[in-house]
Structure 1
Amino acid sequence: MNVTVVGSINLDLVASAPHLPAAGETVTGATLARHPGGKGANQALAAHKLGAEVLLIGRVGDDTMADEALALLEAFGVELSGVQTDVEAPTGVALIAVDPSGENQIVVAAGANHTITQEQLWARIETPLIVQLELPIAVVEAAVGRATEFVCANLAPAQPVSEQLLRRCDLIVVNEIEAAFYGDLLHRGGGRVVVTYGAAGAVMFQRGEEVARAAPPEVTAVDATGAGDAFVGAIVVALLEGLEPADALAFACTAGALAATKAGAQPSLPTRAEVEALLRA
């Protein structure tokens, strides 16, 4: 199975703190870690570790942060011929605060992610496609318009998109906050819509009607960063392999739950064997 991901590539700077700060509050006693991240890169690696051959199209800066951001993708064999280097803009950075329960706050400095252009895309994207909204919307819409196969859009972070994009998507994935932002617009395209609810699981809709739901296994959460991206990679792989909606949701919920049990977005992404073992438990 071949999949193309058009998306963001970041270096995550993660501060594990006693609690998340309120507005104007300084929290001390944190520990700092650096991990590869970015929704596009995370979802590319997630799908790859679950069985897909993945091409990533994105952009990084000409700096040492790019080496860190691409390290795990290279190590696991994600195809990076679609990643270009910007000699002026820095590699994207996400500043992440995480509390002991795994809840987080994230601020993203997009850097080179926002200098990617439509010219960097393939003329036709002839494999299943995954996109998110951490790139310029015009580039995301161009990628979707050039796709000839299955299209999944993770509409995060929430922002206005065209109805044309929504109509082209075979699968839309959002969390409950994003679902509230888009409202009924999500269901105008006719494809499947999945809304995730964290530890409460996920629900799949078709034309506004519920068709399946699943809950994740109970795990001890350490860091929720990357759990949603693990879910996206997993649900795409599961549906492309022909799993029924309920089974696909269970597979994806399990992948997301496993990702929450380890620190960091990409270091926490589970393998196929790990997901299947927990499903059987």
Structure 2
Amino acid sequence: MAKFLVIGALALDRPVRLSGPLASGGRLLGRTLEGALAGRLGGGAANAGVALARAGHEAVVIGVLAQDSEGDACLAQAQAAGLDTRRVVRREGASRTTLILIEPGGERLVLGLDFEAAKLPSLPAPGPDETFDGLYVRAPYPGAEASVAACRGPVVAHWPAGGFAGPCDVLVASMDDCDAATLADPFGAGRAQVGERLGWMVLTRGGHSVTAYDGKRVLRATPPPAKVVDATGAGDCFAAGLLEALTAGADMASALAHACAWGAIAVTLDASAPLGGRFPVFRPGAS
């Protein structure tokens, strides 16, 4: 099995299942987790890391948690999920509260309450002899670039990359996060952000087709049918599946199909981080 590093957020999401779709002026009922807005493990690093761990890999996460009781609870849940959290940094201040509003069809809206930008400490650099088989940069925390040098395999990053200037091999973006200029030239926009090493820009559209661009070719893949229970974290599971396949030597067409399968598994789970999921390992030549 491979050793992966995932850089991004760890959090306790508070899901609320709605009685109907969100609409301006509407009135809805909501059902909370355990009837008390209890928190469940989430955040981009946890979502991708748990998927990799459920596939049998070693998943090391680097993120920032507040030094409070909620941060303690989140860390405990991440450890119980099999994530290596020894490099997680603790910061001063209180944890942020995030509501996940889930419509009956499984689509969700992420609502951060009383958001205040916190000053994030720099992430610890890998040790001189430490290496990873693959890296997913979900959030551009200060110091993320130092981990690229410790990765002997592919580097996948989430768009918009923000303060992360690369290098990386693949950028993954939701079309909803892209402006008109990016959609007009996805690969060019990606290279302008993270440099010439970029090989592919991959655009997702929820449960619809996925498109990958390398400046010359355009590849498309369609997710398999799935009953959507909760779409939270599906994009991170897609990116984790893509990284897992590329690390195993897959070409992009095969990696896209594998990633779509991982995303389809994620939407069937009533969870943010896919704790109950079973994610297949990519095997070259398997149908």
TM exceeding 0.5: yes
Q: 2:36: which partner in 1?
A: none
Gaps of 5+ in 1: none
Return the match for 1:129 from 129, 135, 138.
135
Match in the other structure for 1:12:
13
Aligned partner of 1:209 in structure 2 is 217
- Using the TM superposition, give the Cα deviation of residue 187 of structure 1 relative to its aligned residue in structure 2, in angstroms: 4.6
Seen in structure 2, the aligned counterparts of structure 1 residues 274 and 130 have a Cα distance that, compared at 3 Å, is closer
Contact 1:20-1:97 within 8 A present in 2 as well: no
Note the 1:229-248 alignment, pairs <5 A.
229-248=236-255
The equivalent residue for 1:174 is 173
Change (3 A) 1:147 1:93: farther
Aligned with residue 208 of structure 2, among 200, 203, 213: 200
Residue in structure 1 matched with residue 263 of structure 2 by the alignment: 256
Alignment pair present for 1:227 and 2:234 = yes
Aligned-pair identity (%): 25
Gapped runs of 5+ residues in structure 2? 34-38
SS in 1 for 2:87: strand
> Contact 2:64–2:88 at 8 Å: present in 1 too?
yes
CA root-mean-square deviation = 3.0
Q: How many angstroms does 1:144 deviate by?
A: 5.6
Larger % of helix: which?
A: 1
1:103 alignment partner, one of 99, 107, 121: 107
Output the amino acid matched with 2:30.
Answer: A
Give 1:129's aligned amino acid: L
Per the alignment, do residues 239 and 66 of structure 1 end up closer, same or farther by CA in structure 2, a change over 3 Å counting? same
Once the two structures are superposed, residues 69-101 of structure 1 have per-residue CA deviations (whole angstroms, 9 ceiling, x without a partner) of 234431232111101223x32234321111001
Local SS of the residue matching 1:174: strand
TM-score under structure 1 length normalisation: 0.82
Cα displacement string for residues 43-72 of structure 1 (whole angstroms, at most 9, x for unaligned residues)? 111222223212111121233322442344
Matches within 5 A, 1:24-63: 25=25, 27-33=27-33, 34-63=39-68
Residues 148 and 155 in structure 2, CA contact (< 8 A), matched pair in contact too: no
The TM-score, its normalising length taken from structure 2, stands at: 0.80
User: How far apart, CA to CA, are the structure 1 residues paired with 2:173 and 2:224?
Assistant: 20
What is the SS of the residue equivalent to 1:54? strand
Q: Against the structure 1 CA distance between its residues 68 and 104, is the aligned structure 2 distance closer, same or farther, given a 3 Å change threshold?
A: same
Distance in structure 1 (CA, Å) of the matches to 2:275 and 2:114: 22
Asked if the contact 2:244–2:282 (Cα under 8 Å) also holds between the matched residues in 1, the reply is no
